[in-house]
Amino acid sequence: MRLVVGLFMAAILLVLAAAGPAIAPYPKEYSEKLLVVPTPEGSETLYAPQPPSMRHLLGTDRFGYDILSLLLYGARYTVLAALGSAAARVLIGGSLGLALGMRRGGRSAAGKVSGGLGGIPGFLVVYFVMLAINIDSPLSTTTLGAIQSALIVLLGIPVVSATIAGKTAHHRQTQHVLAAVALGANRRRVALKHILPQLREDLLLLFSGEVVLVLVLIGQLAVFDLFFGGTVLAFDPILLTPRVPEWASMIGASRSSIQAHQWLVLAPLGAFLFAVLAFQLVASGLEHRVRAGYARPPLV
């Protein structure tokens, strides 16, 4: 059930990422910094940010941009960054793990690298590498996003490869693989034809788990104003804002508004949480399915 719900939520995210700009109620550049509305006494001028209303379902941000439109324009950055980085982690880390797992001692080598890196919080590494190039950068949004994604991928490869190396080493000892080796299959054939198909569910499980980890990492960086795709520094008052309306960046940019303008944080927070829970449900559902296949019943 949770797998179905998770997949349904993930499908919604994909639709939003693909069609978000087309269904956004306002154009990308449209903002209402101030709005004059007629009243029985004459007229009243309303200043941004505006709370949720029929005109702006999720309200406007401090620059007058419609938050719902921002979320719809930004969905593709969040979804693409998370899916792309997680896919690259699993593809590169999985291939490396498969190769290491086929060699004697490769499993423990992968484990040592992964264990050594496990002690350093991932966001610290990305933070310090990108710190001096992300704010008011001459680099394009795409380049900054690509650098951040590449760093996120690099950080995840050791753990993924250690996991896959362990599972490959386990499958190498199964009867059908030993039989294939005895019949003369070479290492490459054993890996691709006999072990890789056994790892299909593990790789899917890893992928959905990695999507969640990548989302969390992007969010943690945004808390420290390191926004995906670049940070813009504005003066008078001093403000750090994201170049693109990526969801985690929107949370980071509005986190100081929890007292006065809560809708500024709540809307992106809800969208981000929806994305995290979607892939967490997929991961949890897949895990349940994999376990149910071979679990022994408890004896007490």
Residues at the contact surface with other proteins, assessed by CB under 8 A: 2, 116, 118-121, 123-125, 127-129, 131-133, 135-139, 212, 215-216, 219-220, 223-225, 233, 238, 240, 251, 255, 258-259, 262, 265-266, 269, 272-273, 276-277, 280-281, 284, 295-300
Nearer to other proteins, 28 or 288 (CB): 288
In the complex, least distance from residue 257 CB atom to other proteins, rounded to whole angstroms: 10
Find the distance separating the first CA and the last CA of the chain, reported in whole Å: 27
Q: What are the C-alpha distances in Å from 21 to residues 17, 38, 106, 193?
A: 8, 31, 47, 43
Nearer to other proteins, 120 or 178 (CB): 120
Nearer to other proteins, 110 or 212 (CB): 212
Tokens matching residue 35: 């709005």
In the complex, least distance from residue 146 CB atom to other proteins, rounded to whole angstroms: 13
In the complex, least distance from residue 242 CB atom to other proteins, rounded to whole angstroms: 15
Nearer to other proteins, 157 or 177 (CB): 157
Torsion of CA 17, 18, 22, 25, to 10 degrees: -20
CA atoms within 13 A on the CB side of 9: 21
Nearer to other proteins, 180 or 216 (CB): 216
CA atoms within 13 A on the CB side of 47: 2
> How far is 183 from 177, CA to CA, in rounded Å?
10
**DSSP class per residue in 176-244:** HHHHHHHTT--HHHIIIIIIGGGGHHHHHHHHHHHHHHHHHHHHHHHHTT--TT-EEEETTTTEEEESS
List CB contacts of 63: < 8 A, sequence separation 6 or more.
31, 33, 48
Nearer to other proteins, 155 or 190 (CB): 155
In the complex, least distance from residue 161 CB atom to other proteins, rounded to whole angstroms: 19
In the complex, least distance from residue 266 CB atom to other proteins, rounded to whole angstroms: 6
In the complex, least distance from residue 278 CB atom to other proteins, rounded to whole angstroms: 11
